[in-house]
C-alpha cells in the first residue's frame, strides 16, 4: 500500500486540479462570470477496464528500437483525444525518446498546451518522429527534431546546445528514452547489453541533465521516466530494473540540489505500457500477447493515459511538488 506523505498529498491535489482543468476548460479571468454548469461541455466518463485494448494481443517482434507504426494494436498517444487548455503557453521543452511511446504522448500534450517542443530519437525511428513533428506543428507550435544516440556524451552536450538554440531557451526537460532487454538469467546478460542499458538509462540522464542545468531558470521542471520495476523488479529485467531504481534516487537527490534555484525535479513510474520497448526485445515474445493481463485492470496502459501527468508535473500548478515519484500502474506495485 502506498504511504501518503504531505508532499504526496500535495502532488495528488495538483493532479486533481489538473484533471479538473482538462475536464472543464480554463478558469475565467478575474472579474469574469463563471459559465453556468449546464453551459460547459459534459465530462466524458468511461470504464477504464474497457477504455483501451486488452490482451491477448497478436504475436509480434521488431528489431530494436522498434516503431509505434508497426505495432498491433497501434498505441494511443492522444493523437485524437488530448485537448489542451493553455497550461504551458510559452514554455520550451526537450523530450528524449519523443518519437513514440510515453515521450510521444508528452510531446503531443505539451504542444497542445502551448509549448514549443524538441524531440530526440534514434535515426532508425525517423518515420515515427516525422509524425510527431507534424502533430506539434498542427498544434501551432515550433517543432525541433534532433536525431542522435544519447549513449554518446558528446552528443548529449550537442543535444542540449541545439535545443536551447533552436527553441530560444529551455525550461522543461523530460528524460524519457530507455533501453530494455528481457533475459531470463544474469548468465544471459552480456556486458554489451549491460553497458547499453546503463548508458541509455543512467549515463545519458546524467550527461543531458548536467548540460541542461545551467540553462534552467526558476520555475523550470525536470521530469524523469522511472518505472514500477524500481519497486517491484521482475526476474527477466535485471539490468533495466537496476537503472530505474537509480533514476528514482537520482531524481530525489537532484531535487534537493536544485530546490534553492527554484527548479523542480520529479519522476513518473509507469507500470506496463504498450510502447515499442515491448516488442523490440523488452519482453519475452512468447509472453507479449498477455502483456499487462496480470494487472488489476487486466490490460497495459496506453501512452495517452500518462500525458496529463507529464503536463501537470511541468506546469506551475505543481509548484510545491519536487522530489516526488508519481505512479500509474493499473493497480499494482508503485512507490
Catalytic residues: 240
> What are the backbone dihedrals phi and psi of residue 41, each rounded to the nearest 5 degrees, phi first?
-65, 140
Count of beta carbons in the 10 Å neighbourhood of residue 165? 11
Q: Residue 221 forms beta bridges with which residues?
A: 172, 264
Q: Pseudo-torsion of CA 230, 235, 237, 242, nearest 10°?
A: 40
Closest CA to 247 of 219, 262, 227: 227
CB-based contacts of 305: which residues, under 8 Å, 6+ apart?
A: 52, 328
DSSP for 116-183, written as a single string? EEEEEE-GGGHHHHHHHHHHHHHTT--EEEEE--TTSHHHHHHHHHHHHHHHTS--EEEE--------
Dihedral (CA of 165, 167, 171, 175) sign? negative
Secondary structure in 3-state letters for 235-250? CCCHHHHHHHHHHHHH
Q: Please, are residues 69 and 128 in contact by the beta-carbon 8 Å criterion? A: yes
Q: What are phi and psi of 51, to 5 degrees?
A: -70, -30
How many C-beta atoms lie closer than 10 Å to residue 79's C-beta? Answer: 16
CB 39 within 8 A of CB 24: no
Amino acid at each position: 500500500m502506498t504511504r501518503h506523505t504531505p508532499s504526496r498529498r500535495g502532488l495528488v491535489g495538483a493532479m486533481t486540479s489538473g484533471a479538473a482543468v482538462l475536464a472543464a476548460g480554463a478558469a475565467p479571468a478575474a472579474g469574469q462570470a463563471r459559465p453556468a454548469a449546464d453551459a460547459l461541455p459534459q465530462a466524458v466518463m468511461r470504464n477504464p477496464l474497457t477504455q483501451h485494448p486488452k490482451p491477448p494481443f497478436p504475436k509480434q517482434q521488431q528489431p530494436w528500437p522498434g516503431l509505434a507504426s508497426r505495432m498491433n494494436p497501434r498505441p494511443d498517444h492522444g493523437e485524437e483525444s488530448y485537448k489542451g487548455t493553455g497550461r504551458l503557453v510559452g514554455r520550451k521543452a526537450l523530450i528524449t525518446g519523443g518519437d513514440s511511446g510515453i515521450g510521444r504522448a508528452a510531446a503531443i500534450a505539451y504542444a497542445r498546451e502551448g509549448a514549443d517542443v524538441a524531440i530526440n530519437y534514434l535515426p532508425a525511428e525517423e518515420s515515427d518522429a516525422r509524425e510527431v513533428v507534424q502533430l506539434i506543428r498542427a498544434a501551432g507550435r515550433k517543432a525541433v527534431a534532433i536525431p542522435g544516440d544519447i549513449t554518446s556524451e558528446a552528443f548529449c552536450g550537442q543535444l542540449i546546445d541545439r535545443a536551447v538554440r533552436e527553441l530560444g531557451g529551455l525550461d522543461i526537460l523530460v528524460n524519457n528514452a530507455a533501453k530494455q532487454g528481457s533475459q531470463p538469467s544474469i548468465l544471459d546478460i552480456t556486458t554489451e547489453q549491460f553497458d547499453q542499458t546503463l548508458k541509455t538509462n543512467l549515463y545519458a540522464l546524467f550527461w543531458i541533465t548536467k548540460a541542461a542545468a545551467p540553462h534552467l531558470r526558476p520555475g523550470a521542471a525536470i521530469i524523469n521516466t522511472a518505472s514500477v520495476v524500481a519497486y517491484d523488479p521482475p526476474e527477466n529485467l535485471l539490468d533495466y530494473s537496476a537503472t530505474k531504481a537509480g533514476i528514482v534516487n537520482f531524481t530525489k537527490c537532484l531535487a534537493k540540489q536544485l530546490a534553492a534555484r527554484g527548479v523542480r525535479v520529479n519522476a513518473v513510474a509507469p507500470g506496463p505500457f504498450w510502447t515499442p520497448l515491448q516488442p523490440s526485445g523488452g519482453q519475452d515474445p512468447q509472453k507479449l500477447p498477455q502483456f499487462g493481463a496480470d494487472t488489476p485492470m487486466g490490460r497495459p496502459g496506453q501512452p495517452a493515459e500518462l500525458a496529463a501527468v507529464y503536463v501537470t508535473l511541468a506546469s506551475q500548478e505543481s509548484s510545491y511538488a519536487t522530489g516526488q515519484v508519481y505512479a500509474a500502474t493499473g493497480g499494482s506495485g508503485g512507490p
